[in-house]
Chains A and B, each alone.
Chain A
Amino acid sequence: MRVALFLTCVNDTLYPDTGRAVVKLLTRLGVDVDFPMGQTCCGQAHYNTGYRHQAEPLARQFSDVFRDYEAIVTPSGSCGSMVRELYPRMGERARAEGRGDTLARTLAPVVPKTYELTEFLVDVLGVTDVGAYYPHTVTYHPTCHGLRSLGLGDRPHRLLQAVKGLELRELPGADECCGFGGTFAVKNSDVSAAMGTDKVRNAESTGAEVLCAADNSCLMHIGGTMTRLRTGMRPVHIAEILASTEEEPLG
């Protein structure tokens, strides 16, 4: 199977470890991963801030770069939902604006074959035990787009529960947003920070060492709040936990 890693611009620039972890994990599971160098950004920040027309060329570029792969895997629920949920909507809006079907047709091929990492593991590869070892206490925060847009459900839990040495602790108020929300974090920084603080306090109450999520944007916000509040907890992307082994510990 020819699988492309869509790492996302945030991970590429700030969290290369997550990218390396995805490559290591998928390779270990026998998947031939490619990283198309033409990839940049899915356009979500533009779209969600009100610059849909600026997001269109980025979406077209995404489609050009990825359309020939059999599957596109991304370690981000948020960017995954951009492609799956919002690309079709961009096509519809262009049509409604009298610009015909061109955009919808250009984007259509990548929509159904884009998977968030845990979806790809559970649904496409059919595995929940990925052979990982991670001897830490972990609490899992389901990020909003993964939870509500993509409907990841209990997939991340099933994957984490199968990790050797890992003790999973239930996060109180898990399905509440952490307060990141892209430009919301700066446009409404007071509310965003208050949400982040509550999320971190809930995470602390579990006594876990690690807060894990499937989205580094949210983890950037939660982690930045954690260090500011001097909690001693650390944020780790789920890919790094799943890639971790006894021989090569990560995260």
Chain B
Amino acid sequence: MSGTFVGMPAFPKAAHEAVNNTTLRGNLRHATHTIRAKRAKAVTEVSDWAALREAGKRIKDHTLRHLDRYLVQLEESVTRAGGTVHWAADADEANRIVTDLVKATGESEVVKVKSMATQEIGLNEFLEAEGIHAYETDLAELIVQLGKDRPSHILVPAIHRNRGEIRDIFTREMSEWGRPAPEGLTDTPAELAEAARLHLREKFLRAKVGISGANFMIAETGTLVVVESEGNGRMCLTLPETLISVVGIEKILPTWQDLEVFLQTLPRSSTAERMNPYTSMWTGTTDSETADGPRTFHLVLIDNGRTDTLADEVGRQALRCIRCSACLNVCPVYERAGGHAYGSVYPGPIGAILSPQLRGTASEIDASLPYASSLCGACYEVCPVAIDIPEVLVHLRERVVQGGQVTQQGSKVVLKPAKGHAAERAAMRAARWAFSHPGALRTGQRLASRTRRFHPRTLPGPGSAWSGSRDLPAVPAEPFRDWWQRTNGGKGEGK
């Protein structure tokens, strides 16, 4: 994944700072609460939501289960339609392929449509090092790029910024990159959007190479689909002479008809709209007579940990994800910790199950992500492809504390249990022992009851993780089981 995230601290540490940043908390709360209510309304508008969700899940599962076949079919279809297909096993290979393709055009700048896949592989940084400048054209990506910031949301990477901060970034940075922000720019969203329009227009009109991702790829026809709002996608997909699309191998749908499910569920789940303003669909290149859009089209299919994820029978459901970000918007942990705490271009609940699978659980941040959830289940409830995120989180916790067999870069390896969990493991074992011996449990309960007058309401040391913000409950005079026995189930209670 992107080099910008290397060396991230574990989630709780990163979240600590976010929780105490009142501006950030306010920005996130405002934005996520705005979209939550709207999404709920957009979903209620379609009476068959549950059936669409189920169909979406099944289509994706079916595709993953026959992924080899559909990949080959897609390659044939795209090639037949005049495109060229490239395969990249990892981020580095994908970056090299794209860089070579750009260099072959003789160009030193490219315009980009927002794409999670290219962020995941750190394409912009790679291109920059090779002397190629990549301009992000999505408004939020532009805000992030101009602000030398990191994305914190899948759909709205600058969600952590409010309008005032965006105005400041535009005023300060636009002139460094091209057309400056208009004089006297205010913080009204319409003016900010206008500033972005003016700033990017010259880049669109002169661009010779466009780089995109794709929301869907249709195996039977070779069609790629990009769903967007602003029109920057249309600009990048139609004006340049060369188009390079970098897409994860799991983005395939078998048939044209399958779009009828996802074009209903994706817009409602992501921007809470019946339909997003613009969707572009193209199949290879057009003939020289029609001459509509790029003359050259390259599709770079990337694995980068996806086949490893596919090998895990519980975790593979994460590959159903259509990147709508509904799970981020409802997540109480995301709302308070912010996207940066997840240390990945994939933040929020889906990120907490994707990143440790795509990248493995070796780093501190990746080993902490499966715990970045209270398992409240709100994410699963809104997911339009029914990914049981809590189930995968618990499964990955197991991988962290117990280790076991996983697939890494296509090979099976056996992971050792993570180091930091030794004390917890011992405590869990002790608790399991006590709970397996009701007599021992009772002895413990009685001991606690007898010493109850000496129990503090707060704890020192590691216990302060609880009592830093919450009082401890008082221990009762006798546990229930003693009362039950003493009173014969309440029947002998002197009342």
Contacts and interface: CB of A to CB of B under 8 A. Distances in A.
Interface residues of B, number: 68
Contacts of A118: none
Interface string B42-59: 000000000000000000
B473 interface: yes
B292 interface: no
Interface string B461-486: 01001111111110110111101110
Given A37-B481, A58-B435, A50 B374 contact: no
A129 to B, nearest CB: 23
A182 B375 contact: yes
B431 A46 contact: yes
B413 interface: no
Contacts, number: 203
B435 A9 contact: yes
A12 interface: yes
B178 interface: no
Nearest to A50: B397
Interface residues of A, number: 73
B428 interface: yes
Contacts of A96: 313
B126 interface: no
A192 B432 contact: no
Given A50-B396, A224-B467, 19 more contacts: A11-B480, A15-B480, A19-B484, A34-B489, A35-B480, A46-B428, A51-B402, A51-B428, A93-B314, A145-B377, A148-B376, A149-B377, A176-B378, A184-B373, A185-B470, A186-B466, A190-B19, A191-B337, A224-B466
Contacts of A61: 435-436
A35 B374 CA distance: 30
Given A177-B374, A177-B378, A192-B374, A39 B438 contact: yes
Given A48-B397, A54-B432, A189-B466, A144 B380 contact: no
A13 B479 contact: yes
B146 interface: no
Contacts of B333: 188, 191, 195
B441 A227 contact: no
Interface in A80-98: 89, 93, 96
Given A51-B402, A148-B377, A181-B374, A191 B438 contact: no
Nearest to A49: B397
Interface string A192-231: 1111110000000000000000000000110111011000
